[in-house]
Homo-oligomer: A and B are copies of this chain.
Amino acid sequence: MKLGFVGLGNMGLPMAKSLLSAGHEVAVWNRTPARGEPLVKQGARVVASPAEAAKGAEVVFSMLADDSAAEAVALGPQGIITGLSKGAVHVSSSTISVALSQRLTDAHASADQGYVAAPVFGRPEAAESKQLWVVAAGTKADVERCRPLLEALGRGLTVLGEQASMANVVKLSGNFLIASMLESLAEAFAFTRKSGIEPKQFLELFQAVFARSPIFERYAQAIAEEKYSPAGFAMRLGLKDVGLVLEAARTAEVPMPLASLVRDQYLGGVAQGHGDLDWSALGALVAERAGLPKAR
């Protein structure tokens, strides 16, 4: 296929490589053009603007660092939208706001162009070794047209539906899950260290008990299915244990704001009469506060 690729940063460069090595013809653009040179020997053509990268392409990818860069290359003067043919598709892999993704959807639709949001999970090394996981959304025709390209980028692809920005919601949720885990690890290591346990020891245990276990998967399923009863471990007990954490951390002088937050959630759940549900019923408490309908 004839493709364009806009944005050759740590992620974009290896992604463009993957498309080249899958045999496609790729016109590349980057703010600093030198970034594209290593791709020339693989057959890439370095062009002078996003518009030019889009010109004549069936599909043009973009992979930028933030909203303002992504908006500029798409909608700015000499932007993708000005060069892309009617019927061709812009695939945006940047981690951008849901609001901007919606604006891009609308702008391309007005220009009779297609738009697919296709953010990726994985680091530059994963991009290099085609181990990314791609999450895509857009109209069925557009997504199907891009499917072989998206599959060439990584080890898997999840297609979400017709509203492109849904893919951004999911990507952002994934990064939120990681950031939360980082905070909880940060607090757990500070607590154990200050209580006199070597980080290396706690790490070994973490690897043995958590890292490869299906714990998180099982709980994610419980929350997805809103199945909180019968309790495997009751919210009442969760409240007790997180309370014990805070008590010991108080003694060790370790502030654990995430532990406090979780304790307050459990305390609210118990106060409202849900103490006998499984402790994963945090899912129900959070959903209720979001105004979601109750679990069936």
Q: Does A192 contact B (CB under 8 A)?
A: yes
Taking chain A's interface residues, is the majority helix, strand, or loop, or is none over half, making it mixed? helix
B211, B225, B241, B283: the one within 8 Å of A186 (CB): B283
- CA A179 to CA B197, docked complex, whole Å: 21
**Interface 0/1 of A60-72, CB less than 8 Å to B:** 0000011100000
Contact B121 A209 (CB under 8 A): yes
Any B CB within 8 A of the CB of A47: no
Contacts of A242 in B (CB 8 A): 175-176, 179
Asked whether A133 and B183 contact (CB < 8 A) given A193-B287, A257-B264, the answer is: no
* Structural contact, B291 and A196, CB atoms closer than 8 A: no
Nearest chain B CB to A120 CB, angstrom units: 10
**Nearest CB to that of A124 among chain B residues?**
B232
Given the known inter-chain contacts A210-B216, A253-B271, please indicate yes or no for A158 contacting B290, CB distance below 8 A.
no
Partner of A290 from B202, B212, B255 at Cβ < 8 Å: B255
Contact A245 B175 (CB under 8 A): yes
**Distance in Å: Cβ of A206 to nearest Cβ of chain B:** 5
Which B residues are in CB contact (< 8 Å) with A243? Answer: 250
Q: Which chain A residues have a beta carbon within 8 Å of chain B's beta carbons? A: 65-67, 95-99, 121, 123-124, 133, 135, 156, 158, 160-161, 163, 166, 168-170, 172-197, 199-212, 214-217, 219-221, 223-226, 232-233, 237-238, 240-245, 247-268, 270-273, 279-280, 282-283, 285-292
Q: List 14 A-B contacts (CB under 8 A).
A: A95-B244, A133-B205, A163-B196, A172-B248, A176-B184, A178-B215, A179-B259, A180-B262, A187-B286, A200-B224, A207-B220, A255-B271, A256-B264, A260-B260
